[in-house]
Amino acid sequence: MSVTTPAAGPQPTTAPTEGPETGQEGWKREAAIARLKRKRKFAEDLFAYLAVNGVLWLIWLLSGPSRDGYLPWPAWVSIIWGFLLAIDAWRAYGSGPIGRDRPITEDEIQRELQRSGSG
């Protein structure tokens, strides 16, 4: 007959038996995490925008900028990318569509089904 002894050192702890958060607190947490991810992504995108546009404008300046009355070529990149970045900023820091992060309720689904004639 052999006897086993417990291994020395810290013993692993067991995870709580409760599942992940559910209900209102669960979706609020998920919405907060999503907002934080959007803000981090925006910060990364802003850094890339500034770095790339800085290099493009520097190339334009060093290559002898033309002043023929048209927009300099880096302006097109700055304007278009800047517009898209502004949309990102609005999504990250603005209010966005009302209730976008709110979960869809069964009542809302039923109302939509009735409105579309499918219910």
What are the pLDDT digits (tens) for 84-100?
A: 999 999 988 886 555 56
Domain assignment present for 22: no
**Residue range 38-53, pLDDT digits in tens:** 999 999 999 999 999 9
Distance, CA of 33 to CA of 38 (rounded, Å): 9
Q: Rounded to two decimals, what is the model's pTM?
A: 0.61
- As for how many domains the chain has, the answer is 1
Distance, CA of 47 to CA of 72 (rounded, Å): 22
Domain assignment present for 73: yes
Q: What percent of the chain has pLDDT over 70?
A: 71
Full domain range(s) for residue 42: 37-95
More confident position, 65 or 91: 91
Q: Are 39 and 32 in contact (CB under 8 A)?
A: no
Q: Which residues contact 72 (CB under 8 A, 6 or more apart)?
A: 57, 60, 65, 66
**Region of poorest pLDDT, from 14-23, 44-53, 56-65:** 14-23
Q: Which residues contact 102 (CB under 8 A, 6 or more apart)?
A: 27, 31
Domain assignment present for 84: yes
